[in-house]
Structure 1
Amino acid sequence: MLLFRGHDESNDSISRGIFIETLSLIREHNESIYNVTLEKAPKNNKLTSPNIQKDIVECFSKEIIKSICDEIGKDVFAILVDESSDVSKKEQMTMVLRYVDRLEVVKERFIGVVHVTDTSSLTLQAAIDSVFTDNKLSMAQVRGQGYDGASNMCGEFNGLKALILRDNKSTYYVHSFAHQLQLVIVAVAKNHDGAHEFFEQLALVVNVVCVSYKRKDIIRESYKKRLQTEIGTGETEAGRGLNQELSLIQARDTRWGSHYKTIISLMNLFPEVIEVLKYVEEDNSTLYNRNKVYNILSYFKTLDYVFYLHLMLEILGLTDTLSRHLQRKDQDILEAASLIRGTKKSLQTLRNDGFGSILKKVYSLCKKHSIETLDMSEYYVTLRNHRTKISNQYHFEVEIFNTVLDMQIQEFGDRFSEVSTKLLENMAALSPCDSFSKFDKSKLLKLCTQMILVIQKGHIFLVNLISTIAICYMMTDLLT
């Protein structure tokens, strides 16, 4: 990002900002501009004050948005909207227009950030109407809308999606596939008590370990010594590109793929993290911080924690490939549908046959780092030392493993239904890529059938699409 204004705009500064630097360059090649700008400006009329520069930026913004709207003209477009609060806690709504230009190139253009008093659906709709009015756009031109999965955005009755559909029945709602996958993981983390506590502890330990450079240096030096020892004993291979320096990766709430990287880094740096936590517990002077680190260490030394660590590593590992693919700009519909189906199958296979292999990995890590294991036939004792009437086998296999994966599979099926996946696969038959190489009459017929079912639910606007598909089908009969 290039700054329009410079931090230091004095004559002696070497970085005065884009505005003044560009003006200086232009005036060097134009005598008439040179004679009336900067130090040659009449009296104090330099037009370089912060207020003047803000006015110029606003003029640029209006001209750019005007050119985007002129390019759209009376054609149709889709809107992409998201809302969030800035650092000053003011609610902001961002808005993007998606359309096809005269050269048939799909474009996405950011047209601004709008301050809103709250994030209710009615307020957001009013803000969108205001933007449309200011730029001479009409809701009748909208053919698509895309938001996240929040209830105020995609609610069936009072969400922003529903309000816009009442004004224009042709505004198809599309939920981002990548965001849906994130919601699958989030749903499990929120609704399962053990998984929720695991991710909370995961965030706590990263914050404690990464809060200072001194603690990071302890991890770095300790990991280096461990590697040297393991290479000397033959436990670890040495070679070019191997054994690179590692650090504990900070997880981000909006990107659940980052949690996968955090778990991997924690798995690789497990003894070093324990060492840092012990150092913090002994070195910290406040009782609150000592108790917090003591609780983290106590949790780290339980079989529950190690089991969740391996289980979440397996689940996030299965979904990571799909997550990265769904965020690609050149996304292939057929490949995405295939990966969705493959991920569902992999999760089901893990649910049916994976408990034994995960338990084996858990015991291996416990043995390596001297963590107490449990007899699976004995009664389970909770983390708060409460003896239950269920066995350890039942707790780990049924209450954790089966329950978490069942929730994951069910949520995955709800977010990526078989109907929507097949709809995508059949729509790919209309792709013009490679001279309609994926054109398939049988898929067109299936697509027509699916669309008719949608029409029966009241979506009459799809009639034209079905008519187009039917014409394509009849033309292929004539050609063959």
Structure 2
Amino acid sequence: MGRKRDIGRKYLSGHEKKIRKKKSENIDKEFKGSLLKYFKQDEKKGTQTMDVTELEQEDLLTESNEECSTSSQSTSLQLTSSQSTSLQETSSQSTSSKSISSQGNQQSSIIDLHDPGFWPEKITEQFRMEIIRNGMVQLKGYNYPKDRFNRSFSDKHFTRTLKNGLQQERRWLLYSKEKDSVFCFSCRLFCPNDSALCSDGFNDWTHLSERLHTHENSKGHFNSMFQLIELEKHLKSGTTIDKIHENHVQQRIQFLTKVFERLIQAILFMSKNNLAFRGSNDKLYEPHNGIFLSLIEYVGKFDPVMNEHLKYSKKSYLSPKIQNQLIIAMARKVRSEIISKIKEARYFSILLDCTPDASHQEQLSIVFRYVDVDDMTNGFIHERFLQFESVEDTTGKGLTAKIESILKDEGLDLANCRGQSYDNGANMRGVNKGVQALILEKNPKAYYMSCGSHNLNLILSEMSKSSNIAISFFGTLQSLYNIFAGSVNRWRILKEHVNNLTPKPLSETRWECRINSVKAVRFQLLEFSKALESLENHVTESKIKSEIDSIKNKISSIEFIFSLIIWYRILEKVNIVSKLFQKFRDEGFDSSLAESRELARRLDINPEFKDNRIRKKKRFDSEGDDEPKSSPEDRYRIDYFLIIIDQALESFRNRFQYYRNHHEMFGPFYDSDRLKSLSESELDTCGRTIASVMGEDIECSDLVNEIRLSREVLPSNLGLSQTLKYFSDNHLLELYPNLVILLRILSTLPITVASAERSFSKLKLIKTYLRSTIGKDRFNALALLSIEQEFVNNIDFSDLAYRFAVNQSKSK
């Protein structure tokens, strides 16, 4: 009946309200003062102010990176073990505290770390050891305040009088100015309980003597003092649990650093040799676990560090995840070093080229060319590969946007780009919408230099297709290669007769292949003829016999021999210098004809050209012949030889126009003799020309004067890079700053995109059809470590190994 009043009650009972109130008080007590560390209480008009930071346990210990600085407005405090000595020295002074600055009428309170009134309610092991390291300081000789009963604390309580009259120091007793109370140092740290001396402080000065006597004879006090003495001994000897743990952690870090150093070297070995890391199994000492794990097993047999790691460590750190982290971190370090060098050089050039990979994605190779200003020794001009970038939009606009994005990500300014070089694709070299045109719109000083190697290849390709006779000649060479390369037995017959130079297949992208193919037949035509005869006697297939007979007839003609001589001499001169083509046009036919007839006589071949019947058109009696009668040699000269040479000269004029313009502008700086021979008027003209294109980089009036003075000290016969090296070796860089800047910019300009082309060889080795799904980051990291081997060899990865060791030692 008594509980019927609760029926329909919509509010809490008194008991439930008490429970909630108690919980709320406990929460308030737990978080009391936590906001004071973020705010500062100020009182104006000359009254005393306090900047109090609640010294909670986590603020003092876990957040060890919080810095304490003294400023004109506020101060904070840092408690770390490294500063314990500083705190102890401060405490031994008259104030034994850290003062917080005051300004004007504003005064800050003094926070004394040796005052237990500031200690957090809950004491942790780390805080306990920190306080003991700092030591306890008893406040003596202080003008203790009096309470409402006109009583106060006295220094006499710091000593205990024994029955025989001897005095014994109570070194465990502390007075708190903050709370005007006394505490037991040991019990406050080790045995906090409801006793006032162990928690909030005792300030009943009337009964203090009795309370101290009772406390110092209690069992709890004995236990806390024993713990205090033991901990002090361990701290002095460095045998605390934390110290032992710290030493163990440091030893573990040192050991893991050695392990990761070996893993890094193994990764470098794998990446330099373009080897696949993984197999079908990811476990040690099992079959088919891949080259990387097999290499680690092999190293473990002879290296004691790796042997101990593989035997006793629970974690091997050899998983694919750790492999990727190491590979990417190493590449990131190399990439950072390259970008740093480019930024130091300031001026750079961009080299780009594209190719499809095994996964049928278009890959853009990005290479930077720069001058290493810190190392003006041999090879101070560098071309560094940066990355492969998968591109979908291969138009000039799409590639330009990709370049700008990469430069922005790396913190490089397009305004410092002084050169660009690409292949001869329309999307790259187009004068309206090509990459070079779009970049020139954004930076007119990024001079475009077409790739010289691509130009030569295109010139030779156009020459080889300039007439039907030329097309037939190279078709015969390819057939000669194919007939022997068709089977192992045929190739064996070829090697029995041709011992030195073997035939080479023709390539559309490498003009050197044409040289090698022509050279092999030019100097071993008799051997090839004998090999064809031997092959004809061994084969039984009618189709092969017919092909062999056709090839024999073609290579046994004066026309083929003449073409062989002409093309060898043309390609030979391309290897030396292209300007000799003009002289070869005038004199090359007669000398080539004489050489081919001599070779035909040695091979017992008719040295005369076949006189093919010329088709005659019916004409009226009053009409004359349209064409004059000519010999077979003249027709071969006009219809074949002159066409080839004229095509070459025209191609050279068109495709090397950029080089011609560049030479007219900067030619004297590529030859010290020419620079020294400039007249005053030519020198002034040169200065004005450079001012029009490099006015923002160079003080041209000073440049002319520097050129005039440098000509007196420059040796003869020096090229561009040799001149720059001469200034560096003789400590003349500071004397000719503008001239040096000009030489650096010219040295930065690219000639070919061969470095970008060479990177494709690594791409094919790394991203094979078996590894076509490799991730972008891993692929680029392995490519960078493989392509830039020379640069990687000069990088110290010890800091990377240590960082990985520290991170892994923290993981559980």
Shared fold per TM-score greater than 0.5: yes
- The alignment partner of 2:641 has SS state of helix
- Structure 2 partner of 1:67: 337
- Structure 2 partner of 1:175: 450
- The alignment partner of 1:53 has SS state of helix
Pair 1:428-2:670 in alignment: yes
- Structure 2 partner of 1:442: 678
Pair 1:260-2:515 in alignment: yes
CA distance in 2, matches of 1:52, 1:293: 59
Preserved contact between residue 91 and residue 117 of structure 1 (Cα < 8 Å): yes
- The alignment partner of 2:571 has SS state of helix
Preserved contact between residue 170 and residue 461 of structure 1 (Cα < 8 Å): no
1:363 maps to amino acid:
R
Counterpart among 161, 182, 186 of residue 436 in structure 2: 161
Gaps of 5+ in 2: 1-271, 616-626, 714-812
Preserved contact between residue 400 and residue 435 of structure 2 (Cα < 8 Å): yes
1:400 maps to amino acid:
Y
Question: How far off its partner does 1:156 sit?
Answer: 1.4
Question: How far off its partner does 1:53 sit?
Answer: 2.9
Alignment of 1:338-417 (within 5 A): 343-344=578-579, 346-374=580-608, 379=613, 391-416=631-656
- The alignment partner of 1:80 has SS state of strand
Alignment of 1:44-123 (within 5 A): 46-50=316-320, 52-73=322-343, 75-104=346-375, 105-117=380-392, 119-123=394-398
- The alignment partner of 2:678 has SS state of helix
Preserved contact between residue 27 and residue 34 of structure 1 (Cα < 8 Å): yes
Shift in alpha-carbon separation, 1:260–1:462, aligned structure 2, 3 A:
farther
Tell me the matched-pair count.
420
- The one-character-per-residue Cα deviations of 1:323-367 (angstroms, maximum 9, x if unpaired) are xxxxxxxxxxxxxxxxxxxx52x3223222232222222223333
Question: How far off its partner does 1:279 sit?
Answer: 5.4
Shift in alpha-carbon separation, 1:145–1:279, aligned structure 2, 3 A:
same
Question: How far off its partner does 1:111 sit?
Answer: 0.9
Preserved contact between residue 485 and residue 491 of structure 2 (Cα < 8 Å): yes
Preserved contact between residue 68 and residue 109 of structure 1 (Cα < 8 Å): yes
CA distance in 2, matches of 1:358, 1:129: 52
- The one-character-per-residue Cα deviations of 1:141-198 (angstroms, maximum 9, x if unpaired) are 3221122233222221121111111121121222344443333323312334332332
CA distance in 2, matches of 1:444, 1:213: 70
- Select the structure of larger CA radius of gyration: 2
Preserved contact between residue 558 and residue 609 of structure 2 (Cα < 8 Å): no
- Structure 2 partner of 1:318: 573
Q: Which range moved further: 414-423 or 261-270?
A: 414-423
Q: Which range moved further: 114-123 or 138-147?
A: 114-123
Shift in alpha-carbon separation, 1:180–1:134, aligned structure 2, 3 A:
same
2:330 maps to amino acid:
F
- Structure 2 partner of 1:472: 706
Question: How far off its partner does 1:315 sit?
Answer: 1.0
- The alignment partner of 1:442 has SS state of coil
Shift in alpha-carbon separation, 1:39–1:390, aligned structure 2, 3 A:
farther
- The one-character-per-residue Cα deviations of 1:67-103 (angstroms, maximum 9, x if unpaired) are 2223333723211111122345432211111223340
CA distance in 1, matches of 2:477, 2:430: 32
Shift in alpha-carbon separation, 1:223–1:61, aligned structure 2, 3 A:
closer
Question: How far off its partner does 1:110 sit?
Answer: 0.9
- Structure 2 partner of 1:229: none
- Structure 1 partner of 2:495: 220
Percentage of identical aligned residues: 22
Shift in alpha-carbon separation, 1:282–1:48, aligned structure 2, 3 A:
farther
CA distance in 1, matches of 2:696, 2:470: 42
- The alignment partner of 2:367 has SS state of strand
Query: TM-score w.r.t. structure 1 length?
Result: 0.72
Higher-helix-fraction structure: 1
Question: How far off its partner does 1:18 sit?
Answer: 5.7
Shift in alpha-carbon separation, 1:465–1:2, aligned structure 2, 3 A:
farther
Shift in alpha-carbon separation, 1:149–1:220, aligned structure 2, 3 A:
same
2:341 maps to amino acid:
E
Question: How far off its partner does 1:461 sit?
Answer: 5.5
Query: Which structure ranks higher in relative contact order (CA pairs < 8 Å, sequence separation ≥ 6)?
Result: 2
Gaps of 5+ in 1: 225-244, 323-342, 382-387, 432-436
Preserved contact between residue 98 and residue 106 of structure 1 (Cα < 8 Å): yes
- The one-character-per-residue Cα deviations of 1:49-69 (angstroms, maximum 9, x if unpaired) are 456534432332223212222
CA distance in 2, matches of 1:308, 1:110: 41
CA distance in 2, matches of 1:117, 1:66: 27
1:428 maps to amino acid:
Y
2:439 maps to amino acid:
I
Question: How far off its partner does 1:407 sit?
Answer: 1.9
Preserved contact between residue 444 and residue 473 of structure 1 (Cα < 8 Å): no
Question: How far off its partner does 1:441 sit?
Answer: 5.8
